[in-house]
Structure 1
Amino acid sequence: MGRPQKPIVQDGSPVRLFAFWLRNLRDSAGFTLEQLARRAEYGRTTVSDAMGGEKLPSRPVTLAIVGACKGDVRRWSEYWAQVRRALDPDCPDGVAGIDPPPWDPPGRPAGLHAEQCPPDCTRTEPHGWYTESVATLLRLDTPTPEALERRTVVTTCEGLTRIPVGVSVPRRAGDTRTEHGLEISVVRGGRLEDGGPEYESYFERFLVPPDPLRAGTRHTYEVRLRIPPAQPMAPHFVHVPLTRSEHFRLRVRFDRARMPRRVWRLAGVPTAVIYQQNPGTPSLEPDGRGVVDVGFAAMKVGYGYGLSWLEAGVADQ
């Protein structure tokens, strides 16, 4: 058996994110490197290098790997071209023009999924849905921190009429302000209703889609989260799945006038680690635009995935 590949340290590079999703495709297919190399009809070293994250593999190698894993060759071809274009220093869009996975698997009508709850399901959340993907852009270069989240859920019950939207906003260490809040608004995909538990640092609303959702339907909605003016934000942003959640992509755009001293990737960490000033996990460097871009899959319920950082002017422990 060959030596396992080294973990990919995400640093905001589209090449490393490309390698991350290529590995995820291989993992989903269940192939070892040797098995994949035989099916792709390339050498093991070539296949391993394609998923190493050091350089963008050639289009033929990429599509041979995707085809062997029964992935969507057309979408991967488009994705490869987008990454190749983004590597051109004169590209006007840069990484903004890239549309990475997850996508619908081939052979399945867009938006339709086979999984359903049993007929006697209680039809209450979270029985009636699961999270397929969350994609978040956190902007720290705005007057107040704000996040735009695109969430895609898959319904497993017939006639689902609301989906809980819960967000935890922990206090920053040393913050003794009386007021502590979060502004939540819907950009598209439904409307918000009040309801659900709400505590000092936890806020929950319900998303009501335009129409009741049929079982097996994929529904995408976008919400905007804003920290109120003058409220300090804790130096981390993580996704902690409380139910099934398959993919999470996080992009943080730091203020280039106040770049963080260090940034750490958090993958499957206990809650206590999230709050540590130096979690001891792999550190990353923002790109030239001040952006760090990371992706996660196969997430475990109750563990944290995302980024933490040490702000400028804060002493390292």
Structure 2
Amino acid sequence: MGRPVKDIELDGSPVRLFAFWLRDLRGTADLTLQQLARRTGYGRTTVSDAMGGVTFPSRRVTLAVVEACEGDLRRWAEFWGQVRRALDGGTAAGLADLTPPPWEGPPTPSAGEGATVCPPGCARTDPHGYYTESVDTRLRLDTPAPEAVERRVVVSTCDGLARIPLAFSVPRHTDDGRAEHGLHVSVVQGGRLRSPEHPYESYFRQELALRTPVPAGARHTYVLRLRIPSEQPMAPHFVHIPLTRSERFRLYVRFDPARPPRAVWRLDGVPTAVIYQRAAGTPPLTVPPDATVAADFTEMKVGYGYGLRWEDA
């Protein structure tokens, strides 16, 4: 699997915006820098710099990277031109004219042309045409900003699964008085994000578009990186609430060993209201010296919470 380059902060710069989406394309293609260098014919440093967010890559290098990643050459050429004009203008006004990915794909095919079709006998008990076989989440709280990497395996229940809806709830910490409230989601592997929405302050949703439709009975794995802005405190819990069938959830939380939490509780099939209680009503878990706490859940019920809650030091 291609390893992601150093995180890039979006600060309104068109060069950083361009680099962010170019590395997102590379992540979707699941290519290492070495593989990308071989496919493009350019050196590893050249392709790395193209996604570094410091200098704007040439059109030739950009399109070589896009072609190697099987991206949309026409749309990327247009995007490159937009960024070039914004930079030549020398003002932030040009940013309004940028149309970065994700771009709308071709129209959804009608029935009989590759649309999602249930297999014979499918009762369609899984509303989106799939169920979740496993979720593995690793949450880091010993970094400058909270970051979770989540690996999900889904099983298609209908032929031609092409889109997976994603939804995230990010409650405010009681000490958070900031006007802004955000969540950054990126794909490490397994698809491309489309249609981002933020309909409510603490609720975010997007759609994961798959490169190849998944037939009924087949598995699809995707990996997401979730990051909270560095100045935004995180509410003291991480919980998986299945909204459809979900068979297994593994959670690893790495606390800061220099400031371990006062207490950690396991939340196993609790009503959502219990998630916000100061103590979960169960004996606290032991926090080991490396400050990593793990929890594993199976036989989960739809609409109930599974995960960990803690009290900050």
Structure 2 partner of 1:133: 134
- Once the two structures are superposed, what CA deviation does each residue of 1:20-64 show, in whole Å capped at 9, x if it has no partner? xxxxxxxxxxxxxxxxxxxxxxxxxxxxxxxxxxxxxxxxxxxxx
Contact 1:123 1:160 in 2 (8 A): no
Contact 1:237 1:307 in 2 (8 A): yes
Letter paired with 1:270: P
Offset at 1:270? 0.6
Cα 1:311/1:291, change in 2 over 3 Å = same
Structure 2: gaps of 5 or more residues: 1-116
> Counterpart of 1:162 in 2: which secondary structure?
strand
Cα 1:177/1:205, change in 2 over 3 Å = same
User: Which whole-Å CA distance do the structure 2 matches of 1:124 and 1:230 have between them?
Assistant: 41
> Counterpart of 2:152 in 1: which secondary structure?
strand
Structure 1 partner of 2:257: 256
Contact 2:119 2:216 in 1 (8 A): no
> Is residue 2:150 matched to residue 1:149?
yes
RMSD: 2.1
Aligned residues, how many? 197
Offset at 1:282? 3.0
Identity of aligned residues (%): 64
Offset at 1:118? 5.2
Contact 2:119 2:159 in 1 (8 A): no
Structure 2 partner of 1:213: 214
Letter paired with 1:189: G
TM-score for the superposition, normalised by structure 1: 0.59
Offset at 1:212? 0.9
- Once the two structures are superposed, what CA deviation does each residue of 1:164-212 show, in whole Å capped at 9, x if it has no partner? 1111101111322110010000000111112467321111111111211
Stretches of 4+ moved more than 6 A in 1? 120-125
Letter paired with 1:228: P
> Is residue 2:268 matched to residue 1:267?
yes
Letter paired with 1:304: G
Structure 2 partner of 1:300: 301
Cα 1:136/1:169, change in 2 over 3 Å = same
Letter paired with 1:147: A
TM-score for the superposition, normalised by structure 2: 0.60
User: Which whole-Å CA distance do the structure 2 matches of 1:179 and 1:222 have between them?
Assistant: 26
User: Which whole-Å CA distance do the structure 2 matches of 1:208 and 1:125 have between them?
Assistant: 18
- Once the two structures are superposed, what CA deviation does each residue of 1:99-123 show, in whole Å capped at 9, x if it has no partner? xxxxxxxxxxxxxxxxx94559798
Structure 1: gaps of 5 or more residues: 1-115, 313-317
Structure 2 partner of 1:169: 170
User: Which whole-Å CA distance do the structure 2 matches of 1:197 and 1:247 have between them?
Assistant: 28
Structure 1 partner of 2:180: 179
